[in-house]
Structure 1
Amino acid sequence: TKSRLHPDLVSEELLNPPPLTTIGRARLDAEMECLSNLMDSDESLSDLWNLWFSERGPDASRDLKAAEQLSMGGPQYWDEAEAQLRALIEEHGVHWAEPVNRLATLMYMRGRLRESKELCEIVLAVKPWHFGA
């Protein structure tokens, strides 16, 4: 089977986003409020990152944070971090932008610039306001 990051599947997934639930709408409203608040100060920055990390619930957030810790641990942990990030993307899809963003960062750190750019483009297709991509 193809990876959810295969260009054909990414295109299909981006064209068919999941329906916006009531909770999803509330999260999006909170995200927009945080972004708006950034015009005046950086105080809402941590709230915004928390929203992005926790979009798929506490277990997925914990797994994403663990993968992030590995990626920051140095080159000896990068293979494991990449595997964990890819697993999160396979499980949750590209509409959870933060694992895709973190994988883009890791690919950049690994010198895989073309792949990093492609991943950043996915993040920006999902969240055009994402400033990490």
Structure 2
Amino acid sequence: MKKIRLIMLLIMPVFIFNCNTNKNENLLGKYFNNYENNVLHFVELKKDNTYLHYYEGKNHTVKRNIGTWKSIKKGDEIEIMFSSWIDYGYLNEPVCNSCTNFVKLEDGELIFNQDLPKETNFVKRD
């Protein structure tokens, strides 16, 4: 009995550590916005909790922003908190310029605005 307890005590921290470090693994990757034709617009969530927001317009002008992100679990829902977020894309004037932005993550989609899904949301592609 003592051996089993000892083995459990040794295995449990490894199991807990792996669960905590892998909780964001399925969130990592590139999420694309395809609203504008001939434009490359994506957000990449990286393992070190930084993100790259990249926008290459029709005239090949590149805008890029780097900040940090954090996942927040609220019941069954997941939100992503972006620090230093800057809006790019179809908006002439950014609504958010170096602010903190909270975004809902649902079915592989970053939902920035429920009312403008094609214009503002990003869908994960592997």
Structure holding more helix per residue: 1
**Higher CA-based Rg:** 2
TM-score above 0.5, yes or no: no
Structure holding more strand per residue: 2
The TM-score bracket by the shorter chain reads under 0.3
